[in-house]
Amino acid sequence: MKIRTLVLLSAAPAWPLAVAAVEQPEFQRLTQPENYVEVGAGWVSDESARFGRYNALYRDGLFAVLGLEYLVRPRFDDPSPLHWHVSARDLGLGNRQVSLRVGQQGRFGLEAGYRERRSRGGDGLVSVYNHRDPANLRLPTDWQPAANSAGMNLQLPVLHEFSLAQRRRETRLAASANPGERWQINAQVRQEDRDGTSLLAGLFGNSGGNPRAAFLPVPVDYRTRLFDLNLAYGDRQRQLRLAYHGSLFSNNEPQLTFANPFSTIGGWATGSGFPDGRGALALAPDNQFHQLSLAGTWQLRPALHLSGQVASGRMTQNEPFLAYTANPLLAQAVVQPLPIDSLDGRIDTTTVHLRLSGRNFTRLNWNLSYRLDDRDNRTELHEWVYVGGDSQVQDTSPASSRRRYNLPQDYRHQRLRLDGQWRLDERTRLGSTIQQSRTERSFSAREQVDETLLEFNARHRAGHRVQLGAQIHWADRDGSAYDGAAAFLANHDPAYTDTLAGQWANLPALRMYHLADRRRQRQAVSANLTPHEHWALGLEAARAVDDYRNSSIGLTESRQALLSTTLTWAPSNQLSAHAFYTWERLASDQAGFSFRGGANRLIDIADPERAWAVDHRDRIDTLGAGLQRYLNDGRIKLQLDWVHARAKAKQQVAAGTSLTAAALPTVSNRLDSVMLRASYRLSEPLSLHFRYWFERFRSDDWAFDGVGPDQLANIILPGETADNYRVHVASVSLRFRFQ
Amino acid sequence: MGRLMRSRFALVALAALSLTLTALANEASVQFPDHIANCTRCHGASEDDPVLAIFATPHAVLADSRTGMADQGCAACHGPSLDHARLPARAGGAEVEIAFHGDRKASTQVRNQACLTCHAGGDMMHWQGSVHDFDGMACVDCHRVHQQQDPALDPLQQAQACTSCHQAQHAEFHRPFAHPVHQGQMLCSDCHNPHGGAGPSDLHAMTLNESCYSCHADKRGPFLWEHQPVREDCTLCHQPHGSVHRDLLAQRTPFLCQQCHMSQFHPSTALSATGLPGASIPSGSQSMLGRDCMNCHAQVHGSNHPSGVGQTR
């Protein structure tokens, strides 16, 4: 007996350690970083700008698969754990990114990163301009002008082809430090260079009178620098953060001039058309935004928190103005010069967000919050006499409609909101919200808009297998008297508006939808069911109606309906599957009234048969399924995803007998996408990855189908087409894991 | 006597073997500090209890005095759980004080407090009273602490994690025109702060337009000729998650434009299939085909040209 006791005691040192410790290989398996190098190749079957819009796979042919993850992380008990992380993704594609991080947790961190993203808007577009000088578009030397497209040769090779493609390159540097346990400093500098080509129309003449336009390849050469500096303090009761944010935008191509491909037509000044006529567009001006903010949260009592953020910012823009006209002949005729050389535009912003949040009743949670968004436009108001479309002689007569005043609009939005949530028991919760908001605007059809919102919701959990929810939302918006002519009168000279019957531009009955009286109702129900531990079913249904109850012209009503269901099945860690289906209906009704100007104006608006209406009916169905499976003791991983998305948009047009109208075709888009991913672990460090992706997209759109550059008489179009593609992508790569 | 000698010899040999095994164990195993080892004796690498991966995460960096793990070990989050340590529930004893998953998980408030003890500042500053907080969500509903890669922070998994609840947005991202979230070029968290943002809809930025300008700074202005709704709120015309209509517009143009512009001549014209291409070329309405209103009014986001009245320059 004594010996047995001695035997047990002699062995004692070994067993506690053997149990308390974990075998090194097992520990390493669980904690080693997922470092790898991936090398491979892929293939794209067809060229498609739409397919490659954001994934950079817009060209057919081969591409490289290159990636790297390398994380050096000391063990958890290292006394000075300096970590490194190098990450490189999609190096073989146009969307590539590289980042390097180094730091010591709790002490400091440094980061440098580079990211490149490409977007593709379309290939094979055409313009009448050659691109030798992208900021000054010229016509071919042998260009034959005409009064409209019928007299022009708008065929290749007279036209020049171009692609809508842009590239964003972002460089990022960031640093953080913890000078004390409660303090943290973060700084970040980002620079994004964006270049490429976009598309805009270059107009000559008046848009409503006798316009002529040609689409232009517009050079994009932007640089945006973003600066962020944060100083944060935190203890158990309070956290504070003082922050500066700066955004400096510059455009290396602030203007675009272009030759007029049309011959001078009636109503244009002499010399406005080809060969001497020129136009100019002011492209995005340089601008800046600087903002200081103070954010904090304070635990006033154990169950009472005050949090908020206050920010003061300033937007400025002072790009030198272009002349009223780029046309030399018309420029000589300008008698009233620009009032200033640049806008010196400035908007001071003040934003406040405060929230008092309480949990100090056993069953009641509540929030009281206030939000202010104030934009004080400090830009000065000036008088301008513009030159219409680089084709009109400046008209400085007292009653000129060309005499305009810029409108530095102020905006102020305030919102007060109270949320409450009452827990009847552990399974049932009732919630309600009341919110009042007020929006004030200057130079607006409605100077003040008020909205009251009420919301009720309930949730009930029946055991562990059923969760039910319901929500009712009601909001009512109205405001001060609607004066649809307010901005028009402020924008024009009274000497002109006095000549206009009624002194309004927009039909007085029009109610702009963001200012109009509106009653909004929304109901939603949801259910999450777990009939079996391997199965989960989610159901959601919602319906919303916006009733613009006092709008007889404009948007009068919009409705949304949604049904959504998801099903997941996960019998084990080795196998899972899911499926989803979403049914959406978007409907809106708008009313209009067609009328002419001049002597016909008052005659037309007295004719009820000039009314028209459009009912919009959009239907979207999205369904998909996925499967994930591990085989052969985890050596093989299979993942399959399928999505079918179908959208149809219908416009049903009705018009009075004084007008003519015909039914529009349905616009439709259909997407089918299948992606299969498989990986096979060849050995402990080496795995083989295979990916196959098929996508098909079909669309019909009457605005583009069969509409070539010469379709319209007055507009030289770029030849955009509705998107249709069928693309296969396959790639295979080897991934080598290492420590 | 001989038996006693043999027993003593066996005893010495066993002691020596024990010490040798102990020494070998020290080399072939990972030693945890006592306050952590109390837990890892039972909770290790098994399929049911895969907790050790936490030692590959920032939560277990002992040199960082801010982590509770350094002083309190697992108890920093799970509570002292002394009764559980003496006799665990599986053996008929007590549960851990703060369990985060399973049938006996602690209340949401208790679980979240374990996280908020350290994560109350920074981007989590506005958590209290935020939409997700008020909805009764727990941090661990999205985050996985005992994993090397938290899916909520993984750019390749985040959208899936968010849209598993936000089903309407999941469908919107599949609409024909959408921001490239499904393509992995944007993250939900690029715009939204799920822990409660200072802006509407929990945006990081304090206003919606500030959020849009972070990528579209060319639209910021201020412009000489402003388009008032654009200055005010981008979502008056655009649906940021996805739309049936091009450029993520809320409604098809030219009808969208006509919902606010109804003046004489062409803005008020009843547009229908009568404006579609006819049998001859040229034909069709310049307000309908191509880019419709934008065939002339190219600068709808604002113009800085002195003659840019009507957003045509």
The dihedral over CA atoms of B26, B30, B34, B39, expressed in degrees to the nearest 10, equals -130
pLDDT band at B66 (very low <50, low <70, confident <90, very high): confident
Residue A341, classed as helix, strand or coil, is coil
User: In B, residues 103-132, which contact A (CB 8 Å cutoff)?
Assistant: 103, 109, 117, 120-122, 125-126, 128-129
Q: What is the pLDDT of residue B48?
A: 63
State whether residue A182 sits within 8 Å of chain B by CB: no
Amino acid (1-letter code) at residue A677: R
User: Which tens digit of pLDDT belongs to each residue from A705-722?
Assistant: 999 999 999 999 999 998
Amino acid (1-letter code) at residue A352: V
Name which of A612, A450, A430, A597 is nearest A518 in CA terms: A450
Q: What is the pLDDT of residue B149?
A: 85
Q: Any bridge partners for residue A306, and if so which? A: A298, A356
pLDDT band at A22 (very low <50, low <70, confident <90, very high): low
Percent of chain B's residues with pLDDT above 90: 61
Q: State mean pLDDT over B141-149.
A: 89
State whether residue B274 sits within 8 Å of chain A by CB: yes
User: Measured between alpha carbons, how far is A555 from B262 in angstroms, rounded to an integer?
Assistant: 11
Q: What is the pLDDT of residue A208?
A: 59
3-state secondary structure chain B: CHHHHHHHHHHHHHHHHHHHHHHHHHHHEECCCHHHHHHHCCCCCCCCCCCHHHHHCHHHCCCCCCCHHHHHCCHHHHCCCHHHHHCEHHHCCECCCCCCCCCCCCCHHHHHHHHHCCCCCHHHCCCCCCHHHHCCCCHHHCCCCCCCCCHHHCCCCHHHHHHCCCHHHHHHCCCCECCCCCCCCCCHHHHECCCCCCCHHHECCCCHHHHHHCCCHHHCCCCCECCHHHHHCHHHCECCCCECCHHHECCCCCHHHHCCCCCCCHHHCCCCHHHCCCCCCCCCCCCCCCCHHHHCCCCCCCECCCCCHHHCC
Pairing of strands A255-259, A136-137: parallel
Residue A621, classed as helix, strand or coil, is strand
A105-114, A527-536, A670-679, B85-94: segment of lowest average pLDDT: B85-94
User: Which tens digit of pLDDT belongs to each residue from A32-84?
Assistant: 788 999 999 999 999 999 999 999 999 999 999 999 999 998 888 898 889 99
B246 pLDDT above the threshold of 50: yes
User: Measured between alpha carbons, how far is A718 from B186 in angstroms, rounded to an integer?
Assistant: 29
pLDDT band at A322 (very low <50, low <70, confident <90, very high): very high
Query: Alpha-carbon Rg of chain B, whole angstroms?
Result: 32
Q: What is the pLDDT of residue A2?
A: 43
Of residues B21 and A71, more confidence is placed in: A71
- In this complex, the residue of A27, A297, A704 whose CB is nearest that of residue B30 is A27
State whether residue B63 sits within 8 Å of chain A by CB: yes
- In this complex, the residue of B11, B232, B277 whose CB is nearest that of residue A411 is B232
Distance from CA of B206 to the nearest CA of A (A): 7
User: Measured between alpha carbons, how far is B222 from A342 in angstroms, rounded to an integer?
Assistant: 12
Nearest residue of B to residue A185 by CA position?
B122
Q: Which of B52, B202, B244, B245 would you mutate first to test chain A, the one with the most A CBs within 10 A?
A: B244
Q: State mean pLDDT over B183-192.
A: 94
Take residue B20 and report the two structure tokens written for it: 């040798």
- Residue position matching structure tokens 């000549």: A499
- Report phi then psi at A146, rounded to 5: -155, 170
Of residues A611 and B20, more confidence is placed in: A611
Q: State mean pLDDT over B203-210.
A: 96
Domain ranges of chain B: 34-153
User: Measured between alpha carbons, how far is B281 from A709 in angstroms, rounded to an integer?
Assistant: 10
Alpha-helix runs per DSSP H in A259-336: 328-332
User: Measured between alpha carbons, how far is A223 from A213 in angstroms, rounded to an integer?
Assistant: 29
Amino acid (1-letter code) at residue B14: L
User: Which tens digit of pLDDT belongs to each residue from B253-309?
Assistant: 999 999 999 999 999 999 999 999 999 999 999 999 999 999 999 999 999 999 999
User: Which tens digit of pLDDT belongs to each residue from A447-474?
Assistant: 999 999 999 999 999 988 999 999 999 9
**What does the angle CA A556 – CA A561 – CA A563 come to, to the nearest 5 degrees?**
175
Contacts of A713 in chain B (CB under 8 A): 282-283, 286
Q: Any bridge partners for residue B7, and if so which? A: none
Q: Which of B154, B235, B272 would you mutate first to test chain A, the one with the most A CBs within 10 A?
A: B272
Highest mean pLDDT range out of A17-21, A148-152, A222-226?
A: A222-226
pLDDT band at B47 (very low <50, low <70, confident <90, very high): low
- Report phi then psi at A331, rounded to 5: -65, -35
Beta-carbon neighbour count of residue A18 at 10 Å?
A: 15
Distance from CA of B123 to the nearest CA of A (A): 10
Distance from CA of A353 to the nearest CA of B (A): 6
- Report phi then psi at A686, rounded to 5: -115, 135
Angle between helices B2-28 and A2-11 (to 10 degrees): 20
- In this complex, the residue of A20, A203, A510 whose CB is nearest that of residue B41 is A20
Q: State mean pLDDT over B191-196.
A: 96
Q: What is the pLDDT of residue A359?
A: 84
Q: State mean pLDDT over A209-221.
A: 92
pLDDT band at B35 (very low <50, low <70, confident <90, very high): confident
Pairing of strands A160-180, A108-127: antiparallel
Distance from CA of A665 to the nearest CA of B (A): 8
Q: What is the pLDDT of residue B188?
A: 96
- Residue position matching structure tokens 């770029």: A718
Summary mean pLDDT of chain B: 88
Are A241 and B122 contacting, i.e. CB atoms less than 8 angstroms apart? yes
A273 pLDDT above the threshold of 80: yes
* Chain centroid to CA B64: 25
- Report phi then psi at B136, rounded to 5: 80, 25
Distance from CA of B130 to the nearest CA of A (A): 9
